[in-house]
Amino acid sequence: MNWGTVELEPEVLDWLKNLTAGQFATATFRTPDEDDGSETDG
């Protein structure tokens, strides 16, 4: 299954590279409204 690609800003890539494995796993599977009710799509 192809999930597509994402273009990252350099500062986001740097941030991701500095995460622990557990933090990275959380960041990659978290949805915008999962924890705080925020939504990016409106």
What distances in angstroms separate CA 38 from CA 5, 25, 29, 30, 35, one per listed residue?
23, 20, 15, 12, 8
| Average pLDDT for the chain | 77
* 23 or 6, which is more confident: 23
In this predicted structure, what is the pLDDT of residue 42?
47
In this predicted structure, what is the pLDDT of residue 4?
80
Distant-in-sequence, close-in-space partners of 32: CB < 8 Å, separation ≥ 6: 38, 39, 40, 41
* % the chain with pLDDT above 90: 29
- State pTM to two decimals: 0.50
Read off the pLDDT of each residue in 4-22 and give the average, rounded to a whole number. Answer: 90
Angstrom distance (rounded) from CA 16 to CA 24: 7
| Nearest residue to 31 via CA among 19, 42, 18, 40 | 40
